[in-house]
Structure 1
């Protein structure tokens, strides 16, 4: 299937940053990007002896003996005081260099303002009768409130492997144990790169979303545990696809489901 709405959704998921951004480096390693002037309000000297400066066309964060994680979180706290952060979660996410090597961790609320790549995981839940379990996101969500989504979707924290994040988020969002879901398989991944649409934090989203699929047995029903889901619903595949075409699913779910359908 090659519908115009799907091509538009894919183009929307990969858009350049506006206004332009410059590299963000930690101890010489490029880990993200930032708007040129957004950090100018911060002092060069951060708590813990870490230093921030603009040089060679990039914002450079140099850590003290405390190391890169301490430096990035000192910057995170300074940006929070200046109201340059996204939603603060008290959750650490991994920070990797351009070779995919982990150099440290940072508070989740700073990954978009600093253009740091993140990882997420989704689960597509299939019913035994051929329908699909989907969720309507809570209307209190900061992003895409009230839109339809896969059975589960969540970030991979610094403390988790992909499989651990899958298990934790499946329980928190749907009240299901992955061990009880037959046919669990890793289906693929979708990459996103686009301006972040959360608060006024001059952010850029770079994310790899791995998706899994499994069957939800007829005797099990998803029940939200964390307050982030308005409701779950069983939809026919035709209805899911119709709602996708009408842009009623989140952009992330749309592309993951398109991958699942082999479009």
Structure 2
């Protein structure tokens, strides 16, 4: 891919917040970040936080406090679509401190963890998914064969197994040459707040007799394309930012 294009893509994946944010703390541990105005709103609403000016400090039992805050954010239109899915809340050393509803992670600047699986057929073509047209994020854009968030108390391997079935209807045991390609981190502003996501990257070969089939309604369709087609779609910015970065990692660029 063109060097200038690659530089712009990677710059998009490492952006500061649009507005200043202060640390969200649980005792001495930093577990996210919040816009100061939002911190003041949470405190004024009687929610379990203390807004100190240079930080927003969570009060009380962490899981219960975060659950109350998440519900308030949702009720006031400040969170993404409610999912009834808990994600782990980690500190800046990666230690799990609590869990929170998925809808609240971006307003609270909480780091999320994801897995991506890049699939190729025996001829070397690339399996891609088009995201459902009603997805809340990046509807209709092209994505890797599978990409999903790691749930609370779930290992990367468990997420890889679960999401590969839910999104692509494939069992990991039926795939060949499963490989790890390290991890990528994305930091960028999003509509609901600030995204910090660490993505574990995997690739595998999909045997010729297997065809991906979505199980959870979140995929519009799958397509298997040759590398020139893949590169043309990348250059045309047809992929999600995260998928483009993952594909380039697997391609060695």
State the TM-score, normalizing by the size of structure 2.
0.96
State the 1:223 CA deviation.
0.4
Name whichever of 100-109 and 21-30 sits farther off: 21-30
State the 1:56 CA deviation.
5.1
Q: Would you say 1:74 and 2:71 are equivalent positions?
A: no
State the 1:98 CA deviation.
1.2
Query: Who is 1:245 aligned against?
Result: 235
State the secondary structure of the residue aligned to 1:232: strand
Output the CA distance in 1 between the equivalents of 2:75 and 2:220: 33
Output the CA distance in 2 between the equivalents of 1:79 and 1:133: 37
State the secondary structure of the residue aligned to 1:38: helix
State the secondary structure of the residue aligned to 1:260: helix
In structure 2, list runs of 5 or more residues that go unmatched.
none
Kindly report structure 1 stretches of 4+ aligned residues shifted beyond 6 Å. Answer: none
State the 1:159 CA deviation.
2.9
Query: Who is 2:159 aligned against?
Result: 165
In structure 1, list runs of 5 or more residues that go unmatched.
none
Superposed CA RMSD? 1.3
For the 8 Å contact 1:189–1:211, the answer to whether it is kept is yes
Query: Who is 1:154 aligned against?
Result: 148
Give the total of aligned pairs: 252
Query: Who is 2:215 aligned against?
Result: 225
State the TM-score, normalizing by the size of structure 1.
0.92
Residue of structure 1 aligned with 2:55, choices 54, 58, 63: 58
For the 8 Å contact 1:44–1:53, the answer to whether it is kept is no
Output the CA distance in 1 between the equivalents of 2:9 and 2:86: 30
For the 8 Å contact 1:22–1:59, the answer to whether it is kept is yes
Output the CA distance in 2 between the equivalents of 1:25 and 1:138: 36
State the 1:88 CA deviation.
1.1
Q: Would you say 1:255 and 2:245 are equivalent positions?
A: yes
For the 8 Å contact 1:124–1:133, the answer to whether it is kept is yes
Output the CA distance in 1 between the equivalents of 2:249 and 2:74: 37
For the 8 Å contact 1:92–1:158, the answer to whether it is kept is yes
